[in-house]
Chains A and B, each alone.
Chain A
């Protein structure tokens, strides 16, 4: 039987999956007669230290009468010293770092600024309402990039067009980078090399003695008209609460010490604004779809919180504010489950320290938005890109709704997380990224449960992630091969 090496000297990093661990646990098969007077085993849920970082993404009083320029200014101000350091590190400490207004033609130097990508297809409200153009509103597209896009670098005072060795399609507006090159005669800056802020410093995580798991799931999609995923969801809940499986699996499930729901708990269909378009007499007694869906969610959460601490993050389709950072769902919507202290309603993005392991993640809006405005397709790739840029959501506030912050940009990563996730991805993906200063980050793209029936289990000790797939049978398939594992 494969054994796990736990903390004896240098731990050998073996692939220790949840399945392996559960299979190793002692447990009798349940394909037998019930033993007399045996009440059935009861396992204690593993407890962990938990401290959320609530202040960063909470908004107190909100004022929307400010311009968004302040957030860009704060972003540049905070990232400029970091990037200058990176530049010196990469291109020599004697490299010139200049502001755009001090540029001289032909001089090799570095410039630090915010990227702006001018895209013709970018939806513009001004174009929409402009009467002289007489345009119909642009239909939604999957990608808004074209060949004719231009990259521009902006700093506090000026902007300059970029050309050269920079992959225009990969870049997105709002990223702060440092560029090495020279300004040529035509007024454009020729890029020879560029560099991002890269990973911030990381406090090393403590050595854990035993395997503890955190379950990440997103896109539960409650309240949708097609209820295919409901059984899968029930299986998930049953597994986590220790009802499913035999004793080995149940004791394994007891090591799942926390559940994190990363957004889109309600389905997209609850967002339909039918009520506003239909005449009043047809919609008088009808409730919004989200009301029933929230009730379902409350019942589901009740089953979970009675057994495991749960963090609930709002997502794009959930009843909270639209702009990032999304504020936590209000506990008045959870009359049954909010009685339990194990229910934590948290913001999106979310950051917490779970047993010494720093988790940071969003419900996926930032990644989806970058995907629309760049050539990158894989959510995992985009997630890594945001980590390297040291910014959760560079496209905010340009194309992603964001609160007009004034003196700070809370989306800048100040210290490096150990687990960096984003929810509602089309497929599961995980990758371990190593930084130049010894940082180790596990990137996880949590798949959308309603379409993939897959959740993720992160092992806090080994920092590995394993997908958990739930399936049932249905009339359409005769063959059971549902190999829905990611490719």
Chain B
């Protein structure tokens, strides 16, 4: 072996004034830890023979220490001067080796720790590369394996969870519905969606107890990713972000009932096609529509539920472990979502959507560039409870259309503002600001 390392160590100790620990040396030179220890010993010996400037070393002593009737395995870091003393105290010495070499006499072992800490920090990936023990299991999983692992983890826990939820949840007669903190987008609609989701989970809970309407199952089966082959026909069903894992678990538990949903779903594709175009214009923002669609679904279920059951409490913990995988699925399939949304949206449409003529104020930009608000009957699709939401959606769309026809950008902005303001108020007269438009 080259004696080069002696020079290396010399450089580190004397020139850089470093504390050279065996671990640092092994990581820096890329050698086995034992070799590093031996190198340090050799260097010490070499330097001492040459009677060069004072070098200090620390040793590691480990062995059996007996005291107070108890024996223990003692691993200790000692200074060179304390070495012999320590060795004599031990009843059995297992190993002694050089731990570090440095120029200055160390009073405290603190700096040794920081040296090692830095060394390890810089080499986190191969901290065990030069150690003398290999573990066959300790191989980091690749990203694909990690994903698989997560999926596996998600699937079994819901099954036992369903069991525990039955035992824990069934008894709760006085349980109050707890408001689940809706994350992200759903937080915006917290007031609306919280009661709805509670009702939803109430319904879902009662599902478990009584094998009830296949319609709700149809909705749930749509949410099933892997388990339902019919759902896979739609190909792109993903979990909605606000639906916790407990939905999945119930789907898994009710797998056998999915056969019943098959005829239901065949109806849906037909409905889906017809309503696709009508709803395409309202897809200005994918996320918002996704949210609104899920809301419609919730309401749809709410409508169908006649018997209200006390809702079992949901846990935050359920949501938290799932949010990373859910986020992933969200990221993975942003394209899938609008598609998934459309069929579900369309299908929900077949159930409750109706068209009616409504007296509405319509605001638009006329030829001269003035904002005009007119009353008129507009055919509008609606569902029983979503009146207001729909109307607010329609008005901005009207104003957006108006924007594209006008020429100047300022006008656009002002008109947008004004139209939204005026449409919100439902005013019957042209705004006074119309006079300032022409300039």
B-contacting residues of A (Cβ < 8 Å)?
Answer: 15, 17-20, 22-23, 27, 29-45, 47, 55, 58-66, 70, 227, 230-231, 234-235, 238-239, 241-254, 299, 302-303, 305-309, 321, 327, 330, 332, 336, 339-342, 405-408, 428, 454, 457, 466-475, 480-481, 483, 485-487
Contacts and interface: CB of A to CB of B under 8 A. Distances in A.
Given A34-B42, A307-B135, A39 B64 contact: no
B164 A60 contact: yes
B131 A66 contact: no
B42 A44 contact: no
A43 B313 contact: no
A252 B167 CA distance: 48
A244 B72 CA distance: 17
B120 interface: yes
29 contacts: A17-B71, A22-B95, A29-B95, A32-B42, A44-B135, A47-B137, A61-B314, A62-B317, A63-B313, A230-B113, A231-B113, A245-B60, A245-B62, A245-B75, A249-B95, A250-B133, A253-B133, A302-B127, A308-B138, A327-B317, A336-B124, A407-B167, A466-B72, A467-B72, A469-B72, A472-B112, A480-B85, A483-B68, A485-B65
Given A19-B73, A63-B172, A248-B95, 5 more contacts: A19-B92, A241-B131, A244-B75, A245-B95, A308-B133
Interface stretch (B139-147, B212-220, B222-230, B343-351): B139-147
Contacts of B23: 238, 243
B406 interface: no
B77 A235 contact: yes
B37 A47 contact: no
Contacts of B77: 231, 235, 471-473
A482 to B, nearest CB: 8
B32 to A, nearest CB: 3
Complex A-B, nearest 7 residue pairs according to Cβ-Cβ distance, in ascending order: A40-B32, A242-B133, A60-B161, A34-B38, A19-B64, A472-B109, A246-B95
B3 to A, nearest CB: 10
Interface size class of B (residues with CB under 8 A): 35 or more
A339 B146 contact: yes
Contact of B246 (A19, A47, A61, A407): A61
A26 to B, nearest CB: 13
Contacts of B85: 480
B133 A248 contact: no
Given A30-B37, A330-B321, A63 B138 contact: no
A198 to B, nearest CB: 28
B431 interface: no
Interface of A is mostly: loop
Contact of A473 (B109, B116, B135, B313): B109
A250 to B, nearest CB: 4
Nearest to A310: B138
A39 B107 CA distance: 34
A392 to B, nearest CB: 19
B168 interface: yes
Contact of A42 (B45, B133, B160, B174): B133
Contacts of B33: 40, 242-243
B39 interface: yes
Contacts of A40: 31-35, 130, 132
B121 interface: yes
B307 interface: no
